Amino acid sequence: MEAVTGDGRQILLKAADVRDFAASLRGELLVRDSAGYDSARRVWNGAFDRHPAMIARCTGAADVMRAVGFAAANHLLLSVRGGGHSLSGQSVCEKGLMIDLSQMNGVRVDPARRIATVEGGALLGALDRESLAHGLATTAGTVSHTGVGGLTLGGGFGRLGRRFGLTCDNVRAVDVVGADGKFLTASSQQNKDLFWGLRGGGGNFGVATSFDFQLHPVDPVMVGGELAYTWEDAPAVLKFFFESAPQMPDELNVDAALVRLPNDARFMTLDICYCGPRDQAERVLAPLRQIRKPMRDGVAATPYTTLQSSGDAGTAHGRRYYIKGGFVQKYSPGLLDVAIATISEAKLPVVQAVVFPQGGGAYKRVKPDATAFAQRAAEHNVFLFNSWEDPAFNDQVAAWVRTNWAKVEPHTFGFYVNEFNADDAARLRDTYGANFDRLVALKTKYDPDNLFRLNANVAPKARS
């Protein structure tokens, strides 16, 4: 069988070796002509149409150990698919081995200990649903079909994050299969250096087969939804958001978006979630409603799981997506002007948005060197987001993003690794700041041959 190595060499795998590998798995090994191969290779971002030589549909840690061992022994290009949501499409590879964790999607909650044990391929919707059944939750991202694996390893922002911290701040232990195919557990007691790196260092260090998360008591009904404003009101609303959001109560999360639709409609939205006492919500939200009268006010008492799936339909699987982002350390008026101009002047027949998820709160209270995730002080995260269907627009979209990002980027420093874009590699040192050298040392210890390279890659030191 034809395949490629991590450093791009074409190789031929012996048919007998591939047969033995397949026979050693409890799950299936899919090759090009297998039933189910085409659907298994598809990832959320339809811009990526890659064909792995093999897809190992792992059913447990034993399969993952076997698959990593086979990839390492043959120096194969390796990708790891958790929820399949990577914006850069790196969970599927061309002619390498794809480790597919989608069948490892179980979630078990221990309500007495307030711990959720979550398999590496589970989706956020499953984590929220199982936890909320006990009146518990932890920070999870804003779209329920995103994977727990990738989101947690890279950080994890979400509607509860300003109260409970990043998703990775709530990890108590991770089961990992390392580059040598061996299984280990990382926690504050065991393999502490790896535990540090797994919280923000992305998929650089191994395959996470299971996570233990700290859960917190919450009201399963929160006050949230969307406020939508006319384009004329957008500058005033965005100014208020930039200046006030970092000081808002920890229980309030507000994500702002400037949107242009293919029919040329332009507007602004604030996505609101208040997870504090419900009888305080009106008072806390009053300043937001007073900036300008929203043209649509969808904020009301709503089950948290409904809020958590409110963005699902707008981010459907299979469309094409292109994103470039960065952290806003401190708001400057120039950023507001650039953001408004970007959408005012946008003309492509695709959905275009400038989005600002909120920082501050509990994110900021963890020291930048306590975990690999260094960007604790950022007030916001900004990204340009495009979504389209017709491949004829691929080049135009990329050119539009590059031109406009060049204007936004000077207002940012570093970027969120879960919004990695293939041409962001040069900015990785800024992203990790003082943690970068420690990550390189960790990578050199745990993955000296860079087997886990399809991610926001921290390269190991070359062997001397």
Ligand X SMILES: Cc1cc2nc3c(=O)[nH]c(=O)nc-3n(C[C@H](O)[C@H](O)[C@H](O)COP(=O)(O)OP(=O)(O)OC[C@H]3O[C@@H](n4cnc5c(N)ncnc54)[C@H](O)[C@@H]3O)c2cc1C
Q: Which residues bind ligand X (CB under 6 A)?
A: 43-44, 80-87, 90-91, 101, 120, 141-143, 146-147, 149-151, 153-158, 202-203, 207-208, 315, 418, 454-455
89 neighbors 112 (Cβ within 8 angstroms)? no
State in Å, rounded, how far the first CA of the chain is from the last one: 33
**Least spacing, CB of residue 45 vs ligand X, in Å:** 7
Choose between 207 and 257: whose C-beta lies nearer to ligand X: 207
Contact yes or no for 103/121 (Cβ under 8 A): yes
- How many angstroms separate the Cα of 394 from the Cα of each of 178, 318, 322, 439? 36, 14, 9, 34
Cβ proximity to ligand X: between 261 and 295 the closer is: 261
- Token pair recorded at residue 454: 């399809």
**Strand order in 29-30's β-sheet?**
29-30, 54-57, 97-100, 78-81
Give 233 or 312: the residue with its C-beta nearer to ligand X.
312
Q: In sequence order, which residues have a C-beta less than 8 Å from that of residue 236 and are 6 or more positions away?
A: 291, 292
Buried b (16+ CB within 10 A) or exposed e, 159-180: bbbbbbbbbbbbbbbbbbbbbb
Comparison of 328 and 454: residue with beta carbon closer to ligand X: 454
CB of 356 to ligand X, least distance (A): 12
Rounded to a whole number of angstroms, the minimum distance from the CB of residue 82 to ligand X is 2
**Min CB(19)–ligand X separation in Å:** 27
155 vs 64: CA distance, rounded Å = 23
**Looking at beta carbons only, is 202 or 246 nearer to ligand X?**
202
Task: Note whether 428 and 411 are within 8 A (CB).
Answer: no
Min separation Cβ 427 and ligand X, Å: 17
Q: What's the closest the beta carbon of residue 87 comes to ligand X, in angstroms?
A: 5
Q: Which residue lies nearer to ligand X by CB, 154 or 197?
A: 154
